Amino acid sequence: MADQSIPEARTHRTAPAETEGGPADEGISRRRLLGTAGATGLVLGTAGAALGYAAAPTQAAAPLTSLGTDHAMFHGKHQPGITDGLQARGHLVAFDLAAGAGRKEAAALLRRWSETARRLMAGEPSAHDDTDVARDAGPSSLTITFGFGHSFFGRTGLEKQRPTALDPLPEFSSDHLDKKRSNGDLWVQIGANDALVAFHALRAIQKDAGSAARVRWQMNGFNRSPGATAHPMTARNLMGQIDGTRNPKPSEADFDQRIFVPEKGEPAWMANGSYAVVRRIRMLLDDWEKLSVKAQEDVIGRRKSDGAALSGGTETTAMDLEKTDAKGNLVVPINAHARITRPDQNGGAAMLRRPFSFHDGIDQDGVPDAGLLFICWQADPLRGFVPVQRKLDRGDALSQFIRHESSGLFAVPGGAAEGEYVGQELLEG
């Protein structure tokens, strides 16, 4: 992972350690050391929803008492919240610019938001009218990430700077999208390992919007807390499946090429940035839980107990797509989710999946409104998310157990340098 400068903070910095991708950079927090190789998530984000699989971190789990001191860095080559490990609590929120607000107001807003993010991620209170919700806590691995939607550029007179990669996603047959909970001019991702720290950040961001922008939609998510298991392991989703085994890792030679826009890419203001596809994917858990464990494993193509492919080995053993049983049947079914989503079955298409689970209560029929807030990162969604989702649309066994209910695509520029704000080159260039 590329070196990034770390702002001074009142929080402790963890000593360097070995990560899956090699020695950690000086000053990177324990959460980041645990995280870069462990960002995971259900590719349940492609039409049949793609259950992604990512490698587990190799370090010993941090004790819970240390969570408050862990911190991420705001300034750097890339924005935080992309390669960082899964956090225990998350909030996603989209804003629309207010009537009459344009480029000037948007620039002032991103300047406010960036300063607030810098302060909160360093464990400091917000600059104005802090609510004191997180007064007793450290930064708790807080990350705040900002992105621009397709409509933002028309509202600010910046149409000529809109990337072609931000063209609206095509329709997929499994979509049941609520337009009121989709897209938006601006998008903010908040993650932390403490629920109050995450809420504090959400409230600060909302208050900073002032009269410049209004909330379009907002969603809340969660993951397992670091240290909750006996040893570090890949996360499980609400279906009980290990989820994230095959996620790209920063140690891979082509990781940056797949996930980030190159420094000399187009448009220039997106250098070192990435594109986020955001999907609210409801899991039909009552139907799923009626299946036997064997039937569930056939749908996914992996063992439920340890995430290993049905063809054998451990979680990280390469899947043998040609292996058959005594009757000559494929051990990994032809429509298994893990088979369909493999990069080598999709022309090398890859995306970094970094989701949150969600549970928004029980509906009037007694059915849980629960599932995955799918977030995937890639250098170009037309070569990452779209081809995989189209393939899932044509016959993923998982499709009958999930429903895509909202969708968004956002351009997330590179990180802000010291003294700058996110998106400054776009808004002031």
Same domain as 336, residue 210: no
169 in any annotated domain? no
147 in any annotated domain? yes
What are residue 217's phi and psi, to 5 degrees? -155, 160
Catalytic residues: 243
Same domain as 384, residue 282: yes
Same domain as 393, residue 358: yes
Name the H helices within 341-400. Answer: 385-393
Tell me the CA distances in angstroms from 189 to 19, 156, 282, 305, one per residue in order: 25, 22, 19, 31
pLDDT tens-digit map of 255-276:
999 999 999 989 999 999 999 9
pLDDT tens-digit map of 103-139:
999 999 999 999 999 999 999 999 989 999 999 999 9
Instruction: Tell me which of 123 and 343 has the higher pLDDT.
Output: 123
Same domain as 52, residue 126: no
403 in any annotated domain? yes
Q: Kindly report the number of other CB atoms within 10 A of residue 321's CB atom.
A: 18
Same domain as 188, residue 262: no
Partners of 330 in the β-ladder: 324
Residue 304: which of 314, 313, 312, 294 has the closest Cα? 294
Same domain as 105, residue 79: yes
Task: Supply the pLDDT for residue 339.
Answer: 93
Same domain as 210, residue 236: no
Band of the pLDDT at 344, cuts 50, 70, 90? confident
Partners of 18 in the β-ladder: 23
- On the question of pLDDT at 30 being above 70, the answer is no
Same domain as 273, residue 212: no
Domain's final residue, options 201, 224, 247: 224
Residue 353: which of 30, 50, 21, 34 has the closest Cα? 50
Same domain as 263, residue 200: no
pLDDT tens-digit map of 185-211:
999 999 999 999 999 999 999 999 999
Name the H helices within 101-186. Answer: 103-121, 150-155
Same domain as 242, residue 131: no
422 in any annotated domain? no
- The pair of three-digit structure tokens given for residue 96, joined into one six-digit string: 């629309």
- On the question of pLDDT at 12 being above 50, the answer is no
DSSP secondary structure of 196-246: HHHHHHHHHHHHHHTTTEEEEEEEEEE-PPTT-SSS----B-TTS-B--TT
Total count of domains within the chain: 2
Amino acid identity for residue 27 in this structure: G
Instruction: Tell me which of 400 and 46 has the higher pLDDT.
Output: 400
82 in any annotated domain? yes
The residue segments making up the domain with residue 320 are 43-58+232-413
- The pair of three-digit structure tokens given for residue 103, joined into one six-digit string: 């480029």
Task: Supply the pLDDT for residue 61.
Answer: 57
Same domain as 236, residue 216: no
Q: What percent of the chain has pLDDT over 70?
A: 85
Q: ω into residue 381 within 30 of 0, thus cis?
A: no
Instruction: Tell me which of 352 and 173 has the higher pLDDT.
Output: 352
Mean pLDDT of 307-316: 96
Query: Angle at the Cα of 312 (from 56 to 294), degrees rounded to 5?
Result: 95
424 in any annotated domain? no
33 in any annotated domain? no
Same domain as 325, residue 241: yes
